[in-house]
Amino acid sequence: MTLLLVLLTVLLLAGMPIFVAMIGASLAVILWEGIPLSVVAQRVTTGVQSFPLLAIPLFTLAGMLMNESGISERLFTFTRAFVGHIRGGMAQSAIVGNIFLSGISGSSVADCAATTRVFVPQLVRTGYGQGFAAALCASCATLGPIIPPSILMVIYAWQANISLGDLFWAGVIPGFVMALSMMIAVAIIAYRRQYPKDAAFSGSRLWVQFKRAFWALLMPVLILVGFRMGVFTATEIAAVAAAYSLIVGKFIYGTLKWSMLPRILLVTAKETAVILAIVGAAAPFSWILSIEQAPQLITAAIKDLTTSPWVLLLLLNGVLLVLGTFMETLGTMIILVPILIPVLNAFQIDLVHFGIVLLINLTIGQLTPPVGVLVFVAASISRTPMGRLLKELGPFLIALVAALIVLTFVPSLSLWLPRLLNH
Amino acid sequence: MRGALFAFDDGLARLEDMFLIAAHAVIAVLVCLAVVLRYVFRSPFTWDQEFIVGLFTWMIFIGCSAAIRSKLHIRIESTGQLYARPRWTFMNGVGVAAGAVVIGVMVWAGLSNAIDTADTLTPMLNVPQALFDAALPISGMFLLVHMLRILLERGAAQVFRSSTEDVAEDVQ
């Protein structure tokens, strides 16, 4: 196990892509143990030959079709009609808009790009600071992997062998808790800086904007209802979501053109391939860890340290937050989950609850340099100097960490909905 | 020689892109069709899952090769910043050389695996399992060609560089 982990670290530090480093470490250990190398190839190939994993390209396709149909503008206009009248309302509408956008796209980077493009120019024009506007858009996008559908949830459910439907439902309340914590932060800042508010609330304006955004808003509902029915598989629901997005974009909104389809299919195929190459590379890696009884050794070591599940969760939060600052979300998850699952089972921690805690930790990591992808995207699109953005990020990070602590130590916030629906 | 390699790589890139578009479209249509046949007409295909998973396997590995041209692969991005410093630039070459060795060994291991499974037939389609298993070594060879092209054209630092690093550099 030590050799495998040391090699992985060395190869990652050599600047290789994660999937190459994982395969390299596995090949070296297999060679060292005198096992035929073809075992690694066989494990990598069978690791991706899984029907449930097909949900990933199809959900990605559904999200991209919706994004290319220009739904973000409709959603944000709707949410501005909803909360724009309160102080700092435009900033609040970015957060509320991201709740809905997350329920459609499943990609935090795409959400961040869409929010930044729409909101930063408008926020700056109406008197908000540019650093604040960019920090807000980066922070809002952390809702993407928590509110279903979420690609990271598909992978975690597959790795932990739990129901994807349960995990999707478990993400709903935590998503709202995170959004609420950011809204409180914005409310305090808006009050102190006297940020502007829109005209008074109008029910008729809200209704008009709701009708414009209705078909986009319906998609997350269809996905969650599909899971609730318990008849369809995740892959089938993802396929229906992709077909629905195509119909809405092409025939209802009329913004999607047939000529856009090849590019959309190509981009989603490549993005999916990158994710699933890591999933495939993790198969021989996890296999070696299991034959070397690594999970059992780690469980025993942790039990020497503590026997309390709460202390373990606190420790894991600390480790994951630190790892998230310099490791990429997906890679961290794929490497850690096979090691952690037996530990979590030994401590009787609910895997659905932990899945939500893990994802929140890792998405907060997307906000912190040196690997803060959301910060880079927001700064790049809005042309905001990094220093100005980072200076405004503090309140959002505090709000998100506070939400993380609440969601870690109150499991019923994650588990109440799936349990209710299962009974 | 260099021109021939670049022309070959361009052709390969076009083939990969066409394959990825077609494979993803076929997978999406077949899964939708399977849903309709299963739940509306109560008459599902018997072969669809095996065919879709086989095509999916090819899509992933070919996509993995194509993604290097689009700088989509994921690595620890701070290594790129570190190895941009004059004293550390040699590490870019070390990383690419080690990566090429890993992928080369993987191609060899993948070919051995495909040869081993050439006589094993899949349960529904009754085709050799090697048809699916060959995706890994073949796409690995394509990946090596792309890596060589990027190395010759733009240098070692660019081979595994991700688009996120470009964005980060742009911002800073």
The tens digit of pLDDT for each residue in B131-157 reads 999 999 999 999 999 999 999 999 998
Which pLDDT score is estimated for A402? 96
Q: Which residue has the tokens 């989603």?
A: A268
Average pLDDT, chain A: 88
pLDDT at B52: 92
Q: Which of B63, B137, B164 sits opposite A269 (nearest CB)?
A: B63
Tens-place pLDDT, residues A217-246: 888 888 888 877 767 788 888 898 899 999
CB contact under 8 A, A45 and B60: no
Length of chain A equals 423
Tell me which chain A residues have a C-beta less than 8 angstroms from the C-beta of B137. 41
> Residues with Cβ < 8 Å from A244, sequence gap 6 or more?
A62, A219, A222
CA distance A195 to A184: 14
Q: What is the mean pLDDT of residues A92-99?
A: 89
The confidence score (pLDDT) of residue A201 equals 83
**Closest CB to A236 among B35, B53, B57:** B35
pTM of the prediction? 0.85
Structural contact between residues A34 and B1, judged by C-beta atoms closer than 8 angstroms: no
Q: Do B59 and A41 touch (CB under 8 A)?
A: no
Q: Is the pLDDT of residue A326 over 80?
A: no
Burial, A206: exposed, middle or buried (Cβ in 10 Å; 0-12, 13-18, 19+)? Answer: middle
pLDDT digits (tens, 9 = 90+) for B3-24: 899 999 999 999 999 999 999 9
Select the residue from B68, B106, B142 to test the A interface by mutation, using most A Cβ atoms within 10 A.
Answer: B106
H runs (alpha helix) in chain B: 2-39, 48-67, 78-82, 90-116, 130-133, 135-154, 163-171
Task: Return d(Cα A383, Cα A333) in angstroms, integer.
Answer: 31
Task: Please report, for residues A280, B68, B135, B149, B150, the alpha-carbon distance to residue B6 in angstroms, rounded to integers and kept in the order given.
Answer: 30, 15, 23, 6, 9
Instruction: Please check whether residue A278 touches B, CB under 8 A.
Output: yes
Q: In this structure, are residues B134 and B142 in contact, taking their beta carbons and an 8 Å threshold?
A: no
Chosen from A7, A8, A18, A20 to mutate, greatest number of chain B CBs within 10 A: A20
Count of CB pairs separated by less than 8 Å, A with B: 214
Q: Look at residue A335 and tell me whether its pLDDT is greater than 90.
A: no
Contact A319, A381 (CB under 8 A): no
Give the minimum alpha-carbon distance from B42 to chain A in angstroms, rounded to a whole number: 13
Which residue in B43, B84, B68 sits closest to B145, CA to CA? B68
Alpha-carbon distance B172 to B162, whole Å?
Answer: 16
The more confidently predicted of residues B167 and B61 is: B61
B121 bridge partner residues = B128
User: Residue B61: its pLDDT value, please?
Assistant: 96
Long-range pairs of A406-411 with CB within 8 A, sequence gap ≥ 24: A406/A177, A407/A174, A407/A177, A407/A178, A407/A356, A407/A357, A407/A360, A408/A313, A408/A314, A408/A317, A408/A357, A409/A310, A409/A313, A411/A350, A411/A353
Q: What pLDDT shows up at residue A370?
A: 67
Number of CB atoms found within 10 A of residue A207's CB: 11
Tell me which residues of chain B, numbers 24 to 83, contact chain A at a CB-CB cutoff of 8 Å: 24-25, 27-28, 31-32, 34-35, 39, 49, 52-54, 56-57, 59-64, 66-67, 70, 72-81, 83
For A270, which of B63, B108, B160 is closest by C-beta distance? B63
Contact state of A41 with B168 under an 8 Å Cβ cutoff: no
Q: Report whether pLDDT(A269) > 90.
A: yes
Is the pLDDT confidence value at B41 over 70?
yes
Closest among A358, A232, A330 to A272, alpha carbons compared? A330
Asked whether the beta carbons of residue A17 and residue B61 sit closer than 8 angstroms, the reply is no
The distance from CA B93 to its chain's CA centroid, rounded to whole angstroms, is: 22
Whole-angstrom Cα distance, residue B159 to residue A15?
A: 10
Distance from CA of A50 to the nearest CA of B (A): 7
Contact A49 B56 (CB under 8 A): yes
Specify the pLDDT at position B29: 94
| Residue A181 confidence (pLDDT) above 70 | yes
Residues making up chain B, counted from first to last: 172
Of A23, A265, A270, the CB nearest to B67: A270
Q: Closest to B105 (Cβ–Cβ): which among A27, A236, A270? A: A27
Confidence of residue A106 (pLDDT cuts 50, 70, 90): low
User: Distance (Å, rounded) from C-alpha A86 to C-alpha A138?
Assistant: 22
Mean pLDDT confidence for B21-35:
93
pLDDT score at A371 = 67
Contact: A38, B17; criterion CB under 8 Å: no
Residue A63 exposure: Cα atoms within 13 Å on the Cβ side: 30
Dihedral angle of Cα A189, A194, A198, A199, to the nearest 10 degrees:
140
Q: Tens digit of pLDDT for each residue in B59-117?
A: 999 999 999 998 888 887 778 888 888 888 899 999 999 999 999 999 999 999 999 99
Which candidate, A8, A380, A376, A7, places its Cα nearest to that of B77?
Answer: A376
ipTM value greater than 0.90: yes
CB atoms within 10 A of CB A37: 18
Put simply, the answer to whether A277 touches B64 (Cβ < 8 Å) is yes
Q: How far is A51 from chain B (nearest CA, A)?
A: 6
Question: A38 and B113: CB-CB below 8 Å?
Answer: yes
Banded pLDDT at A82 (limits 50, 70, 90): confident
Are residues B76 and A327, on separate chains, in Cβ contact within 8 Å?
yes
Residue A121: predicted pLDDT? 85
DSSP sequence for A44-94: HHHHH--SGGGHHHHHHHHHHHHHHTTHHHHHHHHHHHHHTTSTTHHHHHH
The answer to whether A327 faces chain B, any CB pair under 8 Å, is yes
What DSSP line would sit under A309-323, residue for residue?
Answer: HHHHHHHHHHHHHHH
Supply the angle between the helices A71-83 and A89-105 in degrees, to the nearest 10: 140
Q: What's the confidence (pLDDT) of residue B171? A: 64
pLDDT level of residue A383 (50, 70, 90 thresholds): confident
Query: Which B residues 140-159 touch A at CB under 8 Å?
Result: none
Distance from CA of B131 to the nearest CA of A (A): 12
A406, containing H or E segment: helix A386-409
pLDDT at A149 over 70: yes
Distance from CA of A356 to the nearest CA of B (A): 23
pLDDT at A132 over 80: yes
